[in-house]
Structure 1
Amino acid sequence: MSQEKPTGESYLVVGGGTSLGEAIVRLLLRRGETRISIFDALPLAAEQAAAFGDHVRVFVGEILAPKVVSDAIQSCQATCIIFTGMISTPVARNVLYPRTSINGARNLVSAILQSAAVKQLVYFGDAASMFDGIERPNLREADVPCLPKPWSARHEPASVGEGIVLGANGKNGLATVVIRPALLFGPTYSFYMSLLLRYHEAPELAALCVGDNTNLSDTTFIDNAAHAGILAADRLAPAHPQHSATAGRAFLVSDDDPRPTWDLERDLWVAASHTTPPTPVRVPYNYYVKKPGPLARLLGRTEPRTEKKRNMHWYCLTRTYNISLARDVLGYTPIVSHDEGIRRTAEWWLERRLKLSALKNETQVTTENPPPAYDSKTGSELAIAPYLEPETMYFALMPTKIGAVWLNEPI
């Protein structure tokens, strides 16, 4: 369990306006913490600002600007920093990704090491950074003591950022820890909000799965990941009995409830649409990711070479994780079940749809007054653009012809 009483630490949540950051702030407020600040590239959405009220101080700036980061840390007198991962303005992200995240992590760690007050740093990586193309169920941290070369470009920022953070452990009295959540999902999480829109417009896509869907995957509801991050922050305090067992380590966390990989999307749509589960339509794996030919094998190329095919290969293998280390050292257990997470996510999406419908009925859309663009922090509109964000590319990679042709050819 996390501390039942407030710790008195001054928390700075870097990326506090993101889905995960918002969950972290909510849990800190719930236990009575009064010294909470947020650093983000964009102002908080109106609903977030209203929910946080005057209890949370907000700094807006680009993480690529070292002085801006240092000034925020000094201004709020942060003692514990929780970094949710990549934060940036859409322009900088689209132009500079993945350097935005990597250089941002370097800037943050550099600023922390210059501050005498910050003693605790929690960084959110990604369990997928451990993937090396081989199917290894129930993977443990000890099974991959040194992270492999990132399997795909979207895994690189978390992998490099993790190395930067763990490399700073012990310097200038700083204690660091990495949380590696399995696939995140939850309300306001932009990928799944976009996914539900796609299914709303083309419900037949909810039936689609590549392969036979016998491969299992772990997922992490955002509140569970936030809970793990706060547990880790508590244990980084020098006086905590688990301090030495926590500092300088990475911990896998999940909902501890593996499911067939393609079921998550279908379950979200069923919960949001109140329909019966569609009959699965299976696309053979080798239709999409063909095995290397004789010449490729002769040259030593035995894995998919393009980014899209590598991503699909990742998605079609079993990816489950052993979270016993997090249980033993952090005291972690999921606080929200997988099924409850599905329900909450669908409920949030439906509420958002109702608000948007009411807004559109009140406001006439014109060329001078176009509908708002999608905001990944609030899910405030239903545009297709999030499919193209680098961190959500692995589902956008699916070719249109799967829906147009293969859906009519059940396997």
Structure 2
Amino acid sequence: MATLEQHSLLNQRRILITGGSGGLASQILQLFSQRGCEYLHSVDLRQPSRRLDGITYHQADLTDPNSMHQIFEEVRPNVIIHTASPKFDAPNHIMYKVNVEGTKTLIRIAKRHGTQFFVYTSSASVISDAKTDLKNADETFPVILGDQQPDFYVSTKALAETYVLSQNRRSQDGSSHFLTCAIRPSGIFGVGDLVVLPGILDPYFRGQTKAQIGDNGNLFDFTENTNVAHAHYLAAAALARCQENPPLDDARVDGEAFLITNDEPRYFWDFTRTIWRYAGDTTRPNQVWVITKVWALLLAGLLEWVFWIFKLGEPPLTRTKVRLSCMTRYFCIDKAKNRLGYRPLVSLEEGLRQGVEDCMRRRNAEQSAHVNTKGVKQKEQ
């Protein structure tokens, strides 16, 4: 839990959170508000589905310098929490424009307007080539860029993180610091999740819980989104503390990246089955059909070829998905523990239970709204 000292460091700061209408940013706004931050602002291209009390919402395009200048003129933020990013399946040019060019624009404007602290939401995937197993990987592992990084979304996150950390500056007299750091969560899930839990639950609703790719011997790290928000809070507080008392290099926060997980690696398919179980699935282990990785890769390759020939888009199973579901990927978070004081607040099991309940509730509400809309149209006809 954050200390009273950390609360006092941030509660009077003017804090601007980009991507504030997204699931993670909403968790960050809520947690910062609960901890006494009085001047919280959100900026996003779209309006939030649910407005939080005490938050000032701004609507603007991160990549439009004029719009962002106007917001900075109004807010004059001391702290930026930069979470804004397109979805991983957005067109490549959009991902690059927002994640790379947008981040550079944001930093230029932040510097011009006297912002002091900048926390960037990166990804643990920046040190993964999507093929090689990661076992207890830490921040000494190199960031994967260029031809070695097969995922364009991850590539843009890596480029943006590298730029953010390169802009870290400590002034000699302490009057004009611009301190930056990056948070690298792995597999974010939780209440408000729009990617991980809905994506895993889709096969459940299609009755496909009885299949497994690989032998389930691969540990994987995930992170509940309250814990990710907590890490951002700790990072912002640590940067504020650095302004007055810069730590020694072995305790440094500014200019550094921090891996964040729930510190509870799980076997990949155990994680997915826990989600299905909370959604009501009763499939037993002896009912599961295990497809070996080799056969799954052959099937995925065939599907990719067929879908490419007939221009059908991306197939439901790809070789990348097979590799990801079979690879080991867990991290050492000692750096975040030692330098930020990070400890997970919400356990994996509790986070999954709450997240699935929220996901099911949202899905049921959407289905009800669709049925009601359809009924109204039929009456009008």
Normalising to structure 2: TM-score of the pair?
Answer: 0.82
Report the counterpart of residue 289 of structure 2 in structure 1: 281
8 Å Cα contact 1:179-1:229 kept in structure 2:
yes
Change in Cα spacing, 1:188 to 1:369, as seen in structure 2 (3 Å) is: farther
- Structure 2 CA distance for aligned equivalents of residues 274 and 240 of structure 1: 53
1:312 counterpart = 2:322: yes
SS at match of 2:343: coil
Change in Cα spacing, 1:266 to 1:249, as seen in structure 2 (3 Å) is: same
1:236 paired residue among 213, 233, 239: 239
- Structure 2 CA distance for aligned equivalents of residues 365 and 153 of structure 1: 42
- Structure 1 CA distance for aligned equivalents of residues 84 and 156 of structure 2: 8
Identity of aligned residues (%): 25
Report the counterpart of residue 216 of structure 1 in structure 2: 219
Change in Cα spacing, 1:369 to 1:151, as seen in structure 2 (3 Å) is: farther
CA offset at residue 191 of structure 1?
A: 1.5
SS at match of 1:169: coil
- Structure 1 CA distance for aligned equivalents of residues 74 and 141 of structure 2: 41
Alignment of 1:167-182 (within 5 A): 167-170=166-169, 173-182=177-186
CA offset at residue 188 of structure 1?
A: 2.0
CA offset at residue 107 of structure 1?
A: 1.2
Query: What are the Cα deviations for residues 92-131 of structure 1, in whole angstroms up to 9, with x where unaligned?
Result: 8676233332111111111112112x10000011101101
SS at match of 2:46: coil
Report the counterpart of residue 9 of structure 1 in structure 2: 13
SS at match of 1:320: strand
8 Å Cα contact 1:242-1:329 kept in structure 2:
no
CA offset at residue 3 of structure 1?
A: 4.0
8 Å Cα contact 1:175-1:247 kept in structure 2:
yes
Alignment of 1:128-277 (within 5 A): 128-132=125-129, 133-144=131-142, 146-149=143-146, 150-170=149-169, 173-195=177-199, 198-203=202-207, 205-237=208-240, 238-239=243-244, 242=247, 245-273=252-280, 275-277=282-284
8 Å Cα contact 1:207-1:266 kept in structure 2:
no
Change in Cα spacing, 1:193 to 1:260, as seen in structure 2 (3 Å) is: closer
- Structure 2 CA distance for aligned equivalents of residues 242 and 335 of structure 1: 26
Change in Cα spacing, 1:335 to 1:277, as seen in structure 2 (3 Å) is: farther
8 Å Cα contact 2:221-2:261 kept in structure 1:
yes
SS at match of 2:102: helix
CA offset at residue 361 of structure 1?
A: 5.8
Paired amino acid for 1:128: S
Report the counterpart of residue 388 of structure 1 in structure 2: none
Number of equivalences: 346
- Structure 2 CA distance for aligned equivalents of residues 234 and 243 of structure 1: 17
- Structure 2 CA distance for aligned equivalents of residues 368 and 105 of structure 1: 47
Query: What are the Cα deviations for residues 223-252 of structure 1, in whole angstroms up to 9, with x where unaligned?
Result: 111100110000001135659610000000
Report the counterpart of residue 44 of structure 1 in structure 2: 48
SS at match of 2:257: strand
Deviates more, 1:315-324 or 1:358-367: 358-367
Report the counterpart of residue 74 of structure 2 in structure 1: 75
Runs ≥4 in structure 1, deviation > 3 angstroms? 3-6, 92-95, 146-149, 240-244, 274-279, 353-370
SS at match of 1:113: helix
Normalising to structure 1: TM-score of the pair?
Answer: 0.77
Paired amino acid for 2:165: L
Alignment of 1:42-121 (within 5 A): 42-45=46-49, 48-49=50-51, 52-53=52-53, 55-87=54-86, 96-116=94-114, 118-121=115-118
